[in-house]
Each structure stands twice: as structure tokens, then as C-alpha cells.
Structure 1
Amino acid sequence: MKSDIPYDRMVDMGLRREDPNRKALMYARCVLGLACVATLLLAALMLQSLLFPGLSPSHPAPNPRPSLPLTETCSDPCQIVLLESIPEGLEFNSSVAHPSIYQAWLDLIGGARSSLDIASFYWTLTNKDTSTSDPSASQGEDILKKLSEVSGKLSVRIAVNTPQQRQPHDDLELLKSSGANIRMVNMKELTSGVLHTKFWVVDKKHIYIGSANMDWRSLTQVKELGAVVYNCSCLAADLGKIFEAYWFLGQSGEPIPSPWPSSFSTPYNKDTPLQLPLNNTPSRVYLSSSPPSFCAAGRTPDIQSILSVMEDAQQFIYVAVMNYLPTMEFSYPKRYWADIDTQLRRMAYERRVKVRLLVSCWVSTQPVMLSFLRSLASLASVEDPKRKLDIEVRLFVVPATAKQKEIPFARVNHNKYMVTDKVAYIGTSNWSGDYFVHTAGSALVINQTTSESSESTVQAQLKAVFERDWYSSYSTDISQHSNHKTFC
């Protein structure tokens, strides 16, 4: 490090070379200097006692801005509810059921008093985009109507991926004309990905996060899973920071900050989760985000969150996703990306953890995905009984009538969650490399292992959803199908 004192001045001060009398001189100066400092401190203390008699060693000055420890707890009466959209015609022989995403959205809009922030991929809540005139679009149309009504009364902000030319703009134009503030995030320019996240922050104290897009099909024609957390300002504030990052990047010409300003940082992550009561049960919670370039200081990137949840599992790992590909499926040239796949294989082989994958099969399923899934499932057929691995892969098919098949991009299990014996993970991303490297997504991670209330833990509820789907008539072992086109 350069000195602030020029070299010629150092010579003048006698510091260029050793002097026989230099050490004694310096010692004397040091003693004299310490005496002066002590005298000044004593004088300052005496002056303080005269001018401010209330401040003394027995009455220290108050700290107006105490620092918050990383293990800060939240005392809000947070209530979490799992939500689902069950496509019309999909019926389970099971008592496992949860409130609908549609009803939760209605309640959030109706209960909003000051603000509503929505981060979304795209908007098509009416049936104009499909021209099918399907009556099941009524729920989406109802949500759009309610949002337009509150847009002129509350602060409504929408961060949305910059729409492509072929995507409808009608919903956004309606909301904008009703008073909503809308910013389009040009993810293609920023990261070559998309804004794929799906969450709401209401009145800075309620949140929704899950797989459902702002699409009428997500309410009646696509199987979805999400969660709503009520009366939880501490968690809402942290999710609000992720929204503010999108909002900032929605300004024209704004690059991705590196590093992000401290106002976007968080103390809550996989190592220091937020301690809060969920449904009267002590819980450890944090929010992860992708891509890594969108993560301010302290934020756990989404891929690290997934790998960490798997790493902590001791008994089982259950995964339900629409797409599972150990590749960068939207990148050119094609690249292999095995972070998640390797972790699953490692956990099954080294830890003997039970692994179950429930993956969607529909008209848009890529054949290569089934090849990768068969490779993973084949590990269970190891001949050595001492090394036999407990891995199973099943495909989930949402049935469709002839009329329902006419609806594009519908009739699919769109879930994006994972549950282990310790943690519940509810995300917004499909499981291939692009979603974690280039695309904006988010996830809610909950450790609520022991329940102190009559209500089961979030992990237990999510496990019940998985097992209902796994053992249903809509799920079959991947080994039973060689041609996905005839099956899906």
C-alpha cells in the first residue's frame, strides 16, 4: 500500500535509516503522546458529566438503530396455506385437498388495503388468445376484473417479462388504463432468459408464491401448486426485495448492478434462515432466487437452495416438476448441465436416500427428457443387492376430452416443488439448467420438522399431496412406456 507521505518527507522525519538516538526519541514521543490522549479523554468525560448529567457509565447512551442479528426472529402470527389448481375432470380418490389458487387470489385482492405487487411471466386471463370460448376461462376473467377495479384505488405494480410480439397485451393494457403501474423486464437483453417467477406481495404482509401463471388455464385447465402466507410482514418484506430488484431492472437501460446496493441484501438464507412461527409452529424459512446475478448479498441462489435441501435429506427426496432435463435446453450450442441430476444420484448412492421423481408427460414433452429419466431410474436395477438404489420415476398425465385437447398449452401437471423428511421447497422454475443460470425464478423454503399444533407440518401436507398424485391412476412407471406420443 502506498504511503500518504512522500519519500522525501520521510527522509526529513529521520525515518530513512536507523539512527542511534532514534529509538529513545520515538519512545519519549510515544509516552508524551499517550499522556496527552489520556488527558483529553479525562477532560471529555468531565465535560460530558457537566453538560449531560443523565449520561453516565451506569446510564449508557441509547442506540437508536440497533443492529439486527442474523438469527432475528419474527413474532408475526404467520399463517401458511397450501393451494392447488385441479384441472376440470381430474378427480382423485383421496381426502387430500387444499383451497384453490383462484379463491386465494380473490381473497388477496379483496383484502388488499394499500398495495399489491405482482411478479409474472405473462398475462392472459381472458380467452381471447385461444379463441376456444371455453367457459372455464370465467375464473381468470373474474381475477382480471377484480384487479382492474382495485388498480385505481390502491398502489398496484406489475413486473412482467417483456412480451414477445405474438403474446397478448390486452390484460396489461386494461390494467394500465385502470391505474396500475407496469414495468417490463427485458430479460432477453439482460441475461438471455425470461422473467419466469410467479408471486404476489400484498400490503407488505401477505404473499403468494407458486407455479401458477397469470393465465386463465392455470386456474381451471392446468394442475398447479402454490402457497399463501398471511400476516407475515417479515417474510413479505424479504420477498419485496426480490420484487424491487425486478422493478429496478424494469427501468429502460438499467444494467444488472454488481454488486447490488445494500438495500436489496438480506440476512436470511440457507445458512441463517428467518425464525418465525408458521401456523403456531416454530419454523425456519428463507427465499431463494435466480439467476445468481439477481441475488444481492445474503440471498441464496435457487440452484444452491435445491442442492442444499437434498443434501440435508436423511430419509427421502420427493420431486414433482413439469420438466426435468440435465441440460441447458434453450442454449445453443446444446450443453450438458448435471448439477441436480448428479446430486440425486449421489444422495441415493452414498446416503441411501429414497428418491422419487414425478414428472409431467404431455404433448410438449421432449423425447430426450424421457431418455434422461430412464437413465436415472435404471440405477434401481443394479444387480448387486448390497448396492441396490431406491430410485423411482413416474410420469403424470392429465386426462383430456376431445374438447379440452383443443385448448393449447393446457392439461398438464405444472407443479414445481420438492419435499424431504426435513424441508418443503415450493418454487417457480422448471428443472433444467437455463432456469437457474439465465432465467428469473424464486422459491419458498420451509423447515418445520416438529409441529406444536394440531395442524400437520407443511412438509407433511406437501408429502401427502405428492403421495396422492404418485399412487393415483394418472401416474405410471416410466418403464411401462416406450413411446411417449401415444401415452401422453
Structure 2
Amino acid sequence: MFRHADRNAMWLAASLALALPTFAATPSGSAASAAPAPSRRVSLLETRPIETTLGNPEIPDALTTWLELIDGARRSIDLEHFYLSTWPGEPTDQVLAALGRAVARGVRVRLLLDGGMYRTYPRAADSLAAVTGFEVRLIDARRLLGGVQHAKFFVVDRSIVVVGSQNLDWRALKHIHEIGVQVRDLRMALDFSRLFELDWSVSRVPGTPPDTTLTTAAAARVSRTGAVPYRIVEAPGDTVLAWPSWSPRRFSPDSTLWDLDRLVALLDGARREVVAQVLSYGIEAHGTRDTTLDQAIRRAAARGVKVRLIASDWMMGSSSLPALKRLAQVPNVEVKLTTVSRWSGGYIPFARVEHAKFLVVDATTSWIGTSNWDPSYFFTSRNAAITLLDPRTARQLLKTFEISWSATGSQTLDPARTYPAKVRGEEPPPGATKYGG
């Protein structure tokens, strides 16, 4: 494993170092020129795992969208991610090359990663930090918050924000089902810039010891957001209402925009139907127990709202599965577990899974976020989301949901059944050949 990782790191450093001068000479009108703005200011992006029928082809591809936005950047790109994982010849090559082109034309590029996950994937981050023009820092979320920096977003020129389930990981752009959203709005982008600056203010450079004097009291220095929801006009008679939200409440640009509160409000306002898709679900994790979200789902079902929930097969064998089984027994609640077929090229660790995190209420309102649905993501970890009152977005997400709901790898959760744990780590199952890591 470590020999592969070292080879990967050397390849990354060499390719970036060699490529940066070339990027600087990219002619006008090539990939470095500003990408044409999409017809809509609010649009979804999706990773559809190869060799599957999952996902909605009407939604733009995540990798393509990322590259267009990075290549269109003029002044700054701020990225906040859980971790950075690369593999030679895979999609993060293209992302890092695009960031290299941005640096070469004078764009400030900053990357903020979780300090704990950095210890798992240090080499790619260290290689990137060694390249002139890249600023890489770590946030010690375990010490500051009690959890992890789990948000996945980036802000371009403080005018465009992308947030969603995609990690900065080659697998998340090719082998995992993911959903994100881009919003071209100065107010929304400013809110996420404030979130980034807050976390950047308590971060450190890789290789330096943690500064134990830094505390979450820094939140007091950050301005509050504007009046939400933001009205984003797409066309006459076509206006999207948008809300940012984040976790944890005690360390955010605006504590009134807590992600858990937003989800509960959406569920409490549901009248007919709720559909949701998450990697995992529970009422207790990592020492934090809370039933707020679980109770909101039960209240909706008790009002006669039809609730359908998809969770991934990574729930199988999990200590959280009993809570999901109990929820599945509530009248008006249906739960399915989904399995993504193995790739023909081999077994890929921590991949081939439904990792999207979204909610659609009454076919009009959507929540697209970075949180799985257990308490630790809302109380002790950094996460973020955007809620949209926009029937068009809701329809697209509903189609995505229905495709997963009816997929061959989807199965109704049986409360009486014992599910063996899914093999998903570095060690492949017997007889399988491992690819990547």
C-alpha cells in the first residue's frame, strides 16, 4: 500500500512541477479562458459511476463542471474538502492540472483539508503544497470541534459556490454516485467564503504542530449573513429561493442557519411526499446521540406524508442499522439499501457506493448537502448545505432518486434480517484484484 502511495506522490509532484510552466503559456481561447456561463444560475452536478445506469443524464457531469469553473477563475479559488486522494491516470489528474493552470495565470488557490484525514492521505497534499503557488492548510477539527472537517465545497472568484457530496477524490468523480449544486450568486458565494475564512483562520500548514491557542471563539470575528432566503432570478417568472446552512452551530458564520434546523423545518413543512438519499443514517455515532431528525421524519409520517429513504449498503453490519430498521417499521415510511455493482477493472477500496446526500420535499424544495444523517455530522463536524425552493431542481433530483430506488441493486430493508457487513476497505474480498487506494 505504502509503495503505491509513494509512487503516486512522486508522480503527482513531478507532473505538476513539469506542467506549471506549460500552463502559463496556455493561449487565449483554450481551456484557460473563461468558461461560458450556464443558462441557469442554479444547477445541479452529478457523478454517475461508470458501468452503471445510476444517475440522471439530464444533470451536468460533476468533473466537467468542476473543470469549467476552475478554468474560468480569474482571481481566486478556495477549496475546503475532507481529504485529497489521487491515482495516476484518474480524474483528479485533470482537476489538479486545471488548478495548476489557474495558479500559472495568477489565480490564488487555497486548499483546506481535515487534519485527521490528512494522516491517512498525506502524500498528495504534501506534494501539492510543495508546488509554488498552491497554499495548503489543515484544520484540526477533532480538537476544535470534536469531529472532522467533512464539508466539500469550493468558491470561485467569490461569486460562484459549488457544494455537494463529492470529496476531492478520484473515486468521487468516476466510481461513486454523488450529487452537488453550483450557485452563481454573490451573496451565497460570500457566505461560503466567510465559512472558508473562518476555518482557514484556525488552520495550520502541513508539517507544523497544532496551535493549541486557537479555539472556536474565532467565530465571533465573522460577520453574519444577509437576510435569507436569497432570491435568485433565473428569468421573468422564474425565481429560485436559496438558503445556506452549515454545522456545527457553535462554529459557523451564522448560528441561526444550522443545518439540522433547516432539515427539521423542511420535514415539518412537508405535506405530501419526502424522498431522501444518504450514505448512512443513525441516531448515535462517535459518542453523540440525538433523535431530532428521526423524530421529524416520524412526525411527517404520522401526518400522512409518504416518506421514502435510500441508504447505502455500507449500513450493512453497522451499529446504526437497528435505528434504521426501527424507522422502516413506521407506517408511511419505506427504506431501501442500495448496492453499486463492482467495476470490471477490479475492486476499488471505499468506492462503488451511493454517497449522494439530498432531500426533496413535495416535489418543490430540495436540500443538497455534505452531511450523512447521524448526529455527529450536525453537532461535532463541519458540514454545509444549500436548500432550494425550485421545482425544476426538485424534479431533477426526484428522477435521480427514482432511478436509484428501482435499480437492480436496490433492496427493501427487512427489519428481521441480519445483514453481513459490506467489504469496502483496503483489503479486497477473496478472489478480487485491487485497483487504486
Indicate which of 338, 352, 355 corresponds to 1:396.
Answer: 338
Indicate which of 182, 204, 207 corresponds to 1:228.
Answer: 182
Q: SS where residue 166 of structure 2 aligns? A: coil
CA shift, 1:185, in A, is 0.9
Q: Deviations over 1:23-53 (max 9, x none)?
A: xxxxxxxxxxxxxxxxxxxxxxxxxxxxxxx
1:421-432 equivalent positions in 2, closer than 5 A: 421=362, 422-432=364-374
Give the counterpart letter for 1:330 in structure 2.
H
Alpha-carbon distance in 2 for matches of 1:463, 1:279: 23
Alpha-carbon distance in 2 for matches of 1:267, 1:165: 34
Q: Which runs of 5+ in 1 are unaligned?
A: 1-76, 128-136, 381-389, 450-456
Q: 1:472 to 1:180 in 2, by over 3 A?
A: same
1:60-75 equivalent positions in 2, closer than 5 A: none
CA shift, 1:347, in A, is 1.2
Alpha-carbon distance in 2 for matches of 1:183, 1:278: 36
1:297-446 equivalent positions in 2, closer than 5 A: 297=254, 299-327=256-284, 329-331=285-287, 336-349=289-302, 351-362=303-314, 365-380=316-331, 390-401=332-343, 403-405=345-347, 407-421=348-362, 422-446=364-388
User: Is the 1:116–1:201 Cα contact (8 Å) retained in structure 2?
Assistant: yes
Give the counterpart letter for 2:202 in structure 1.
L
Give the counterpart letter for 2:199 in structure 1.
Y
Q: Deviations over 1:296-355 (max 9, x none)?
A: 34641111111011111111111100000111x112xxx532111111011111x21111
Counterpart for residue 93 of structure 2: 141
Q: 1:106 to 1:399 in 2, by over 3 A?
A: same
Structure 1 residue 257 and structure 2 residue 208: aligned? no
User: Is the 1:125–1:144 Cα contact (8 Å) retained in structure 2?
Assistant: no
Alpha-carbon distance in 2 for matches of 1:360, 1:164: 22
CA shift, 1:163, in A, is 4.1
* Matched-pair identity in %: 28
User: Is the 1:96–1:464 Cα contact (8 Å) retained in structure 2?
Assistant: no
Structure 1 residue 161 and structure 2 residue 114: aligned? yes
Alpha-carbon distance in 2 for matches of 1:175, 1:306: 36
Give the structure-1-normalised TM-score.
0.72
Q: Deviations over 1:42-85 (max 9, x none)?
A: xxxxxxxxxxxxxxxxxxxxxxxxxxxxxxxxxxx961221111
CA shift, 1:189, in A, is 1.1
367-376 vs 434-443, greater mean Cα deviation: 367-376
Q: Deviations over 1:217-243 (max 9, x none)?
A: 00111111111223x222211221111
Give the counterpart letter for 1:379 in structure 2.
V
Q: SS where residue 485 of structure 1 aligns? A: coil
Q: SS where residue 467 of structure 1 aligns? A: helix
207-216 vs 243-252, greater mean Cα deviation: 243-252
Give the counterpart letter for 1:358 in structure 2.
I
Structure 1 residue 86 and structure 2 residue 48: aligned? yes
Structure 1 residue 198 and structure 2 residue 134: aligned? no
Alpha-carbon distance in 1 for matches of 2:301, 2:66: 39
1:463-482 equivalent positions in 2, closer than 5 A: 463-479=398-414, 482=417
CA shift, 1:430, in A, is 0.9
Alpha-carbon distance in 1 for matches of 2:309, 2:63: 27
Counterpart for residue 295 of structure 1: 252
User: Is the 1:79–1:279 Cα contact (8 Å) retained in structure 2?
Assistant: no
**Larger-gyration structure (1/2):** 1
User: Is the 1:267–1:298 Cα contact (8 Å) retained in structure 2?
Assistant: no
Indicate which of 385, 397, 401 corresponds to 1:462.
Answer: 397
User: Is the 1:397–1:474 Cα contact (8 Å) retained in structure 2?
Assistant: yes
CA shift, 1:481, in A, is 8.0
CA shift, 1:171, in A, is 2.5
Alpha-carbon distance in 1 for matches of 2:127, 2:110: 13
